[in-house]
Amino acid sequence: MAVRVFHTGRVEVVVPARTPPRAIESFLARHRTWIERKREEARLKAVPPVPFPPQRIELAACGELWRLHLAGGPGRARVAPGGGGLLVLCGDAGDRRAVREALRCWLMQRARQILSPWLSECARELGFEYRRVAVRRQRTRWGSCSTRGTISLNCCLLFQPAAVVRYLMIHELAHTRHMNHSRQFWQCVAQHCPQYRRLDQQLLEGWRVVPSWVSGEQGG
Ligand SMILES: [Zn+2]
C-alpha cells in the first residue's frame, strides 16, 4: 500500500486488489500523522488564487504594466490596447476560455513586437547572424536554435527580467556557431555574458512568475 498527498491537499491511497478494508484502515491509522502534516504543508505552500481575468499584467522584460479594463459589450471576448497602459477587454468576460485565448493572442503579438527587434539588435551588437526568428508559446523551453539558423523564443520571456532575456538570446545566438553545449559553446556565451551561470539558474526557475492564464491548460 502507498499513500501520497498532492499539492492541492488531495490524498491518494494505492491499494492492491482484494485488500481487506480492515488492513486499509490500519494502514491509514499508522500514517495519519504524516498525512496530516503533509496536508498542512500543502495548505501553507498554496499560492493564493489569482483573480481571472487578471487585473494587471506585468511584463518585466520591457518594464510594462498593463491594467485590464472590462468594457463589456456583445460578442466574443477580444483584447485591444488602449491608451495609458490600459488593455481593453470587450465582449463577454464571463467566457473564461475566450478571454484566455484573447489574452494569449495579445501576449504573442506583444512578444513579437518586443523580442524580435531585441534579438536582431543583440545579434548586430555582438556580431552574430541568424536566419529567422519565431516567437512561440512553448510549454517547457525558453528558446531554441535550429541547424538552419531559426531562433525560437518563448513569449513567456516577457515575464522575466531583462538581463535574463538577454542571456537567453546570447545563449541561442551562440548556438548559431556551436550546435551543442560544449566547452567552446559556454566560452562563447561567457564572453558576451559573464554572469551566465546565475542567469541560467534564474531562467530555470522563471516558470514560477508566468501567470497561469498563459501557461496553464485551463483558465484562471
Ligand atoms: Zn542551449
- Domain range for 196 is 56-215
DSSP 8-state class, residue 158: G
Q: What is the mean pLDDT of residues 66-81?
A: 95
Are residues 170 and 209 both part of a single domain? yes
Check pLDDT > 70 for residue 219: no
pLDDT digits (tens, 9 = 90+) for 92-147: 999 999 999 999 999 999 999 999 999 999 999 999 999 999 999 988 899 999 99
Number of structural domains (the chain) is 2
What separation in Å is there between the alpha carbon of 123 and the centre of ligand 1?
A: 16
Calpha distance 76→208 (Å, rounded): 30
Task: Kindly state whether residue 104 falls inside one of the protein's structural domains.
Answer: yes
What separation in Å is there between the alpha carbon of 144 and the centre of ligand 1?
A: 7
Task: Kindly state whether residue 51 falls inside one of the protein's structural domains.
Answer: no
Are residues 150 and 179 both part of a single domain? yes
Are residues 41 and 104 both part of a single domain? no
What separation in Å is there between the alpha carbon of 79 and the centre of ligand 1?
A: 34
What separation in Å is there between the alpha carbon of 171 and the centre of ligand 1?
A: 6
Are residues 164 and 207 both part of a single domain? yes
Are residues 81 and 124 both part of a single domain? yes
Are residues 37 and 73 both part of a single domain? no
Q: Which residue has the cell 539588435?
A: 121
The per-residue pLDDT for 50 is 73
Calpha distance 178→26 (Å, rounded): 59
pLDDT class of 16 with cuts at 50, 70, 90: very high
Mapped onto helix, strand or coil, the DSSP state of residue 179 is coil
pLDDT digits (tens, 9 = 90+) for 134-143: 999 988 899 9
Task: Kindly state whether residue 101 falls inside one of the protein's structural domains.
Answer: yes
Decide: 75 and 90 in contact? Cβ < 8 Å: yes
Task: Kindly state whether residue 60 falls inside one of the protein's structural domains.
Answer: yes
Are residues 30 and 131 both part of a single domain? no
Mean pLDDT taken over the chain? 93
Are residues 35 and 100 both part of a single domain? no
- CA-CA distances (angstroms) from residue 135 to 77, 120, 165, 167, 201? 23, 13, 13, 17, 22
Are residues 8 and 35 both part of a single domain? yes
Instruction: Please state the pTM of the whole predicted model.
Output: 0.77
pLDDT digits (tens, 9 = 90+) for 164-203: 999 999 999 999 999 999 999 999 999 999 999 999 999 9
Are residues 120 and 192 both part of a single domain? yes
Are residues 124 and 192 both part of a single domain? yes
Task: Kindly state whether residue 220 falls inside one of the protein's structural domains.
Answer: no
Are residues 166 and 125 both part of a single domain? yes
What separation in Å is there between the alpha carbon of 143 and the centre of ligand 1?
A: 8
Q: Which residue has the cell 526557475?
A: 205
Q: For residue 91, what is the domain's CATH number?
A: 3.30.2010.10
